[in-house]
Chain A
């Protein structure tokens, strides 16, 4: 059965509601589901919980939702370079839960994998461990961290087949396969959509079991945050 939807509007039509939690792939602006984010901004659900490493950057990506006052809570690892989040946080309209990046990734993986939590040495002896159960494991202090799940995951891949098997490009993979696993429903936008069978099974980064809806989005802005180059040959 094809999971391909004709448009991002159609794919998200019955999914968006006030107060929902949305998991978003991407590292800063790299590899974000641009069309899905734009549709969430256009439809305007409010009181959202956003689970994403950065919640946008430099006024773009998910930062648009912050600007429009749609976001109530953000769970992330890094808020630097995101003046919209800093502003909303300081005025008290958005709460921020910071999680160390590796812990954040593993919490999402745990959520998608049906794991109830895990002990990690990251954050032991820091503010991150406050109020959390700790345990000495092999002589080292570990902190209990819980899983993260969300109502909806929005991710972007380079190529997907109509079952949802997906392959990512370079460092655009980042959190996206994890977010896709942890969403109660996952919408994937792909630069290229191919027939089932066109991706070799060994080349699948995200098996289609984790994807419910697919949209073909051939054009992405792919905003570069810091274009660093060396001299031309």
Chain B
């Protein structure tokens, strides 16, 4: 049995260490916030200019000028700060954000990440993805193991345009947890019931099992 989306999100939350400053990417990574306990004393950074982001507002608390990078209404927790975009990206680029959990389209064994565009599809722009991938101290990618047609999304080298090079520490997919090791992926955890053969078949690079 591979992991459900919820199980993947929970596994990603387990990557967060006590007291860290964390940026959660748009999409599935945003849901990681639902699994962060207050006792972890984690501070969420949103690159549009908010440190200390809280949960979605109650209906009577909605402030249209308080949003996250996905343009959803959010709240600011006690101790939060707001700032301009240059300062916000100084936090990211300057290595002050401990962890970024990002969505991915493809990760290479060298730790290269592709997550911003697919040639031939309508271009959306990279937004803050390149800065986060290049700047956060640690980058964890949350993505499916293979495309719908079976094409592996963990590959020896990227086939899609890169977001940043040698930036990914860890990839979490429905099949397990994988660390890029240069010319192979180390599988450090397998989802319950997923065999080594299945992982080998569905991965586009050699896999070393360290489970």
Chain A positions within 8 Å of B, measured between CB atoms, are 27-31, 53, 57, 76-81, 86, 89-90, 96, 98, 100-106, 108-109, 120-128, 141, 168-178, 205, 222-233
For window 18-58 of B, CB contacts with A under 8 Å fall at: 46-50, 55-58
Which residues on the B side are within 8 Å of A172 (C-beta)? 65
Cβ contact within 8 Å between A228 and B73: yes
Cβ contact within 8 Å between B84 and A173: yes
Which residues on the A side are within 8 Å of B60 (C-beta)? 232
- The residue in chain B whose Cβ has the minimal distance to the Cβ of A113 is B86
**Least distance between B79 CB and chain A CB atoms (Å):** 15
Q: Provided the pairs A77-B126, A123-B130 are in contact, do residues A171 and B93 lie with their beta carbons within 8 angstroms?
A: no
Cβ contact within 8 Å between A101 and B71: no
The 30 sampled A-B contact pairs (Cβ below 8 Å) are A27-B49, A27-B67, A28-B67, A31-B65, A80-B124, A80-B125, A98-B125, A101-B128, A102-B131, A105-B85, A121-B93, A122-B93, A123-B130, A124-B134, A170-B82, A171-B50, A173-B49, A173-B83, A174-B85, A222-B64, A224-B73, A225-B71, A226-B72, A227-B72, A228-B72, A228-B74, A229-B62, A230-B58, A232-B59, A232-B60
Cβ contact within 8 Å between A101 and B84: no
Cβ contact within 8 Å between B86 and A106: yes
- The residue in chain A whose Cβ has the minimal distance to the Cβ of B89 is A102
Which residues on the B side are within 8 Å of A174 (C-beta)? 48-49, 84-85
Q: Provided the pairs A126-B130, A222-B65, A230-B58 are in contact, do residues A79 and B125 lie with their beta carbons within 8 angstroms?
A: yes
Return the contact of A106 from the options B57, B64, B70, B89 (Cβ within 8 A). Answer: B89
Q: Provided the pairs A126-B163, A171-B48, A171-B50 are in contact, do residues A79 and B134 lie with their beta carbons within 8 angstroms?
A: no
Q: What are the interface flags for B83-112 relative to A under an 8 Å C-beta threshold, 1 for contact and 0 otherwise?
A: 111101100110000000000000000001
- CB of B13 within 8 A of chain A? no
Return the contact of A101 from the options B46, B74, B89 (Cβ within 8 A). Answer: B89
> A90, A108, A230: which has the most chain B beta carbons within 10 Å?
A230
Q: Give Cα A15–Cα B92 distance, bound, in whole angstroms.
A: 37
- The residue in chain A whose Cβ has the minimal distance to the Cβ of B55 is A230
- CB of B204 within 8 A of chain A? no
- The residue in chain A whose Cβ has the minimal distance to the Cβ of B124 is A80
Q: Give Cα A224–Cα B131 distance, bound, in whole angstroms.
A: 26
Cβ contact within 8 Å between A76 and B125: yes
Which residues on the B side are within 8 Å of A28 (C-beta)? 67, 71
- CB of B192 within 8 A of chain A? no
Which residues on the A side are within 8 Å of B126 (C-beta)? 77-78, 98, 100-101, 128
Q: Give Cα A120–Cα B59 distance, bound, in whole angstroms.
A: 41
Which residues on the A side are within 8 Å of B83 (C-beta)? 173
Q: Give Cα A125–Cα B112 distance, bound, in whole angstroms.
A: 10
Q: Give Cα A124–Cα B58 distance, bound, in whole angstroms.
A: 42
Q: Give Cα A100–Cα B57 distance, bound, in whole angstroms.
A: 29
Return the contact of A229 from the options B56, B66, B84 (Cβ within 8 A). Answer: B56
Return the contact of B134 from the options A104, A123, A175, A224 (Cβ within 8 A). Answer: A123
Which residues on the A side are within 8 Å of B112 (C-beta)? 125
